Amino acid sequence: MPPEAIEARAEELVERVFGTPARRRRMLVIANPYATTVSSRLKNLVVYAPRGRYDVVAVETEAQ
């Protein structure tokens, strides 16, 4: 079952049990692409991990 289907099903169950739609929190991740310890892979892992509970937006810094 794809993650989107699982998430939709979970929200349906929460609404049925509690009577109100589930409210998702938002998260902003700011990454410095010039930092030596921040690879694209690491950034993607950090952004992907909390997506089950948060609406995640990732941005990269543009100036030094």
Q: Is residue 50 part of a domain?
A: yes
Q: Is residue 51 part of a domain?
A: yes
pTM: 0.52
Q: Is residue 1 part of a domain?
A: no
Q: How many domains does the chain have?
A: 1
pLDDT digits (tens, 9 = 90+) for 7-58: 788 877 777 777 665 667 888 888 887 877 777 788 788 888 888 778 888 8
Q: Is residue 11 part of a domain?
A: no
Q: Is residue 31 part of a domain?
A: yes
Q: Is residue 10 part of a domain?
A: no
Q: What is the dihedral of CA 44, 63, 54, 6, to 10 degrees?
A: -30
Range of the domain at 58: 23-64
Q: Is residue 4 part of a domain?
A: no
58-61 long-range Cβ contacts below 8 angstroms, 24+ apart? 58/28, 58/29, 58/30, 58/31, 59/28, 59/29, 59/30, 59/31, 60/30, 60/31, 60/32, 60/33, 61/30, 61/31, 61/32, 61/33, 61/34
Q: Is residue 40 part of a domain?
A: yes
